[in-house]
Amino acid sequence: MSTAMLPSYVVLDLETTGGNATQDRITEIAAVRIDNGVETARWSTLVNPGVRIPPFIQSLTGITDAMVEDAPTFAQVSKQLLELLEGAVFVAHNVRFDHGFVANELARLDISLKVKTLCTVRLSRRLYPQHKGHGLDAILQRHGLQTQARHRAMGDVDVVLAWLDVAARELGAEALQREALGLLQGSAALPPQLETPVSDIPDTPGVYLFYGEGSIPLYVGKSVTLRTRVMSHFQASTKVAREMRILQEIRRIEWRETAGELGALLLESRLVKELQPIHNRLLRREKQLTSWKLHDDPAARPLLQLVRLDEVNAADMGQLYGAYRSKRQAMDALRTLCETHQLCPNALGLESGKGACFASQIGRCKGVCAGREVPALHRVRLQMALAEHRLQAWPHPGRMGIREHNPHTGRTDIHVFDQWCHVATVHDDDALQDAISARQPLAFDLDTYRLLLKRLTGTGLRSREVLHLGAPHAHSA
C-alpha cells in the first residue's frame, strides 16, 4: 500500500550519460504507478543510449557500456512509458531533470509530452522547511531510510516512495495531499533549488536578475510583465540548452520595477554593462567604439579617418558615420561599401600604392586614382553611400526628458538624456533639477543611442511625454 498523495501518479527516475537533456541520453528508466493509493504497475529497463557512457557516470551508476549494448533503445520502450504515464502526474525528485530528458527523447520521435509534473524536492521543502538539505541523500539521512541501489533508477524510485510514506505518517495524509496539489497549480515547473518565491515577483515592467551561489548574476533580463517572463524561462528550459544551464545554477531572483518598457530597456542595458552577467552576450560593454569621419578635402588620402567615439565632442556627432565595436568591423563595413558603390579602395585607405588601383583595372572603381573621375565627384558619391550610416546630431538645444507613467502601479519615471546619453532616471522634482544641472561627463553608449533614436523618430512618443529641460551640454568622455 502506498500513499494516495494524488489520484494517479507515476514516480519515475532516470540514469543518463550526463546532465544536459538536449545533448545527453537516457541509460535506464524506472517507474512505479500509484492509483488511489495502490501500486498498479512497476517497470524498469536499461536503455541503449546510442553513445558512449563517460567513465565518471559508469562509476557513479554502475551502468557500463557492456550492460546497455543489447538493451532496447528509447524509441523501442517509448510506447510502454507513455502508456504508464497516461492520465497520471509525472513525479520525480528534481522533476525538471527527468521530465526534460523524457521530453527531448520523445521530441526526437516527433512526439510531444503532455503531462502534469510534481517535483518531490520542492514538496520536501514545503513539508520540511526547517531542514536545509532536500536531495535524496539528505532525505535518506534525515529519516533514517536505507537503500542498496542508490544511483540506480528503481533504487531511487523506492527511496522517493518510502519517503512519501514517512511524510504521510509524520505529517498526515491530508497535509501531504494539500501540499502536492498546491505544487501542481503552477510551481512544479520551478527549479527545485530556487529559494525565491516566484509569487512575490510583480507582473509589472522592470528588470530581473538571476543569481547562483556567487555575487555575479547569471543573467539579467527585462520585461513589461516580470513574473510572466521569469516563468517563461522555466518553461523553455527543457528545450533550450542555455535556459537549462541557467536553471541548473539558479538559486535566487532579484527584480527592479520600472514605470514602463523604456525604463526597463535602459536599466537592463546599464546593469548588463556594469555587472557582466555570465549568460548575457548582447548589451555587453563596448570596449572601444569607433566611427568614420569624412575629410573635407576631396584630394585628401585617405578620405576617411577612423575615430574613437569616446574622444569625439558630442556636438560633432552629426559629422560621423557608423558606430563599430571594433576596427575590424569598421574595415569590413567600409570594404563592403566600397565594392557596392564602385569607390576607390586606395582613396578610402583600404589599400596602399600609387596610380590606378587594381579595382580600377578590372572595372570595379570609376578611376579617381587614375584621373578618370574628378575627386570632388568621388567624394560626393562616397558621402551618398555613407548617408544611411550617418549618426544623428542631437536634435535638442539642451537636455530633454521622457516621462513614463504606469496607471496600474501609479509609478512615474522621467528619463533624462543629453547628446544621446542617458543622464539619469528620476522620480521627483528635486532629483529632476539635480539631473538637469549635473555636470558629469557623458559616456556615449551605442545601445542607448539606437534605443532613443527609435523612440524619437517613431510614432509612439506623444508630445506630452517629452520634457525640454535646457541646461548646457556636458562633453562626452
By annotation, the residues acting in catalysis are 151
Cell triple for residue 396? 535638442
Q: What number of other Cβ atoms are within 10 A of residue 262's Cβ?
A: 22
Cell triple for residue 129? 522547511
Between CA 371 and CA 60 the distance in angstroms is 77
N-to-C CA span, the chain:
73
Give the residue from 280, 277, 135, 282 showing the smallest Cα distance to 214.
277
3-state DSSP assignment of residue 69: coil
Using the structure block, give the residue that is written with the C-alpha cell 508630445: 463
Cell triple for residue 84? 504508464
Backbone angles phi, psi at 223, to 5 degrees: -165, 160
Cell triple for residue 176? 501531504
Between CA 472 and CA 477 the distance in angstroms is 16
Cell triple for residue 302? 585617405
Between CA 79 and CA 186 the distance in angstroms is 27
Give, in degrees to the nearest 5, the angle at Cα 253 between 250 and 257.
150
Torsion of Cα atoms, 148 then 154 then 156 then 162, to 10°: -90
Left, alpha or beta for 104 (phi > 0: left; psi -120 to 50: alpha)?
alpha
Backbone angles phi, psi at 100, to 5 degrees: -60, -45
Farthest-apart Cα atoms in the chain, separation: 97
Between CA 190 and CA 237 the distance in angstroms is 10
Backbone angles phi, psi at 468, to 5 degrees: -90, 110
DSSP letter for each residue of 89-151: EEEETTHHHHHHHHHHHHHTTT------EEEHHHHHHHH-TT-S--SHHHHHHHHT---S-TT
Cell triple for residue 366? 570609376
3-state DSSP assignment of residue 46: strand
How many Cα atoms occupy the beta-carbon half-sphere of 254 within 13 Å? 12
